[in-house]
Chains A and B, each alone.
Chain A
Amino acid sequence: MIELYHIWKQYQKPDWALADISLTIRNGEFCFITGPSGSGKTTLLKIIFREILPTEGQIIIDGLNVLKIPDHLIYRLRRQMGIVFQDFRLLYERRVFDNVAISLRVLGLSTKEIRRRVFNALRQVNLHQKMWDYPYQLSYGEQQRVAIARAIVNEPRIILADEPTGNLDPDLAFEIISLFKEINKRGATVIICTHDREIIRHFGEKVFFLHKGKLIGKEVFPSSKK
């Protein structure tokens, strides 16, 4: 369970990027954080991922106070999470296989195990036939799927995606979110930041609305509806 208590974040005085955000996301939930540009979606995601620290507040993930984890042990938290960005963040001089394998190499797994898991992850995103291509040889949608494969390959319990459909056309965007939904069905908690209302209308189970750094609303749909 991810619990955020009274999160405040200030980059520059006097503006607050986040103001008194409190929310709870249960294990296995599929939820969206939405709001216009500059509403604080990415900041919130970065705080959950502990890429940045909040100015005030507490974050508890599965009973663990994230802010009390010393810097040199942050990797333990991050190994439980997979993150996907709008701009993919792929290494373009490395093959698709290596881009996905990077998440496993840090765990010190054997080459054989890495190959097996990378192949499985790429098969899940239907890219196993392009395993030895370079990212620049792929379409945007395929590149995003590589980024997703990298995020899921070590089977994390939490997947965070920051505008994962921002660069994609509507059909591809639906395909990508469907993929996240499939991952969620296998038990992972999925949190997606998006401002795409169409996607939220179609997939949203739990939606948090942000505006100017404040949580202005929360909507929960019965999951059976989707």
Chain B
Amino acid sequence: MAVIVFLDKNLTPQEKGALEEKIKQSPLVARIDYVTQEQAMTRFIQKFPDLQPLLQDLGTNPFPPSLEITIQPRYSRSHLVTSFLDSLKREKGVQDIQFNLDWVERIESFDRLVRAIGLFLGSLLLLASLFIISNVIRLSVVNRQEEISILRLVGATNNFIRLPFVLEGIILGILGSLIAIGFLWLIISLFPLYVGHSLGAFKEIFQLRSLTSSQVIILIFSGGIIGFVGSFSSLARFLKI
């Protein structure tokens, strides 16, 4: 997310430096670039070469100097940025600020919606995983009923009988999460190749990130936990020891 702060042409280099320093101190700011009047005009001419004679007729450079501020993605919440910009507006030498608040709010609302849908679907999938693992273990218990009864007769402890089923559940859970991670990696790798170009301006918004190593570990661990809970609940219901 970028914010453009247009500065007063008459601002001295010291005042500009002080303002830049002050902005840099904010934790919201990831990067700050100073654009001179000349650089602004060059950019304009590059983008609109047909209008160059018009600028020459003016005789002066109409573009003010500006500061292009990149906001840290994790601080892109609009209310934080809004209060930051409000404080900036009060600074000496700041003429105007260009920042599309409506869009940010819309994207944030969309983000919240996507998160809510994700949470809902995630919860559904979690329950489905528990149900599936629980049933797989149940089938396994039914298939091995004879073996279980023999184990009981020869003096196996409850934990000895339960252990293979619990391990089966944990392995299923971990395998499930590994497959999910694999698919996710595949989607993240293939998404830009197949859809990336057609996204155009939305490319920045729909940028897909790979999972971090800690997220991968959490996912695998969660798979194991789901497997454990699924198998244990199934054993509690179907394995009469």
Contact = CB atoms under 8 A, between A and B. Distances in A.
Nearest to A103: B154
B56 interface: no
A76 B146 CA distance: 21
Contact of A89 (B146, B156, B157, B241): B146
Contact of B153 (A71, A78, A91): A78
B158 interface: yes
A100 to B, nearest CB: 10
Interface residues of B, number: 14
B151 A102 contact: yes
Interface in B129-157: 146-147, 149-157
Contacts of B152: 78
A214 interface: no
Contacts of B151: 102, 106
A103 B146 CA distance: 14
Contact of B150 (A77, A102, A107): A102
A83 B153 contact: yes
B160 interface: yes
A49 B155 CA distance: 11
Interface in A33-69: 49, 51
Interface string A68-83: 0001100111110001
A91 B146 contact: yes
Contacts of B160: 106
B149 A78 contact: no
Nearest to A71: B241
Contacts of A154: 154-155
A102 B158 contact: no
Contacts, number: 40
A106 B156 contact: yes
Contact of A78 (B146, B147, B154, B158): B154
Nearest to B156: A106
A150 interface: yes
Contact of B155 (A79, A89, A91): A79
Contacts of A106: 151, 154-157, 160
Nearest to B161: A106
Contacts of B156: 75, 106
A75 B150 CA distance: 12
Nearest to A151: B154
A101 B156 CA distance: 12
B146 A75 contact: no
Contacts of A83: 153
Interface string A124-156: 000000000000000000000000001000100
Contact of B154 (A71, A72, A150): A150
B150 A91 contact: yes
B146 A102 contact: no
Contacts of A76: 155
Interface string B149-174: 11111111110100000000000000
Contacts of B157: 72, 75, 106
B135 to A, nearest CB: 23
B147 A89 contact: no
Nearest to B152: A78
Contacts of B155: 75-79, 103, 106-107, 154
A101 to B, nearest CB: 10
Given A77-B155, A89-B146, 14 more contacts: A72-B157, A72-B158, A79-B154, A79-B155, A89-B150, A91-B150, A102-B154, A103-B154, A103-B155, A106-B151, A106-B155, A106-B160, A154-B154, A154-B155
Interface of B: 146-147, 149-158, 160, 241
Q: Which 6 A-B pairs have the closest CB atoms?
A: A79-B155, A78-B155, A106-B156, A103-B154, A75-B155, A75-B157
6 contacts: A76-B155, A78-B154, A83-B153, A89-B146, A103-B154, A106-B155
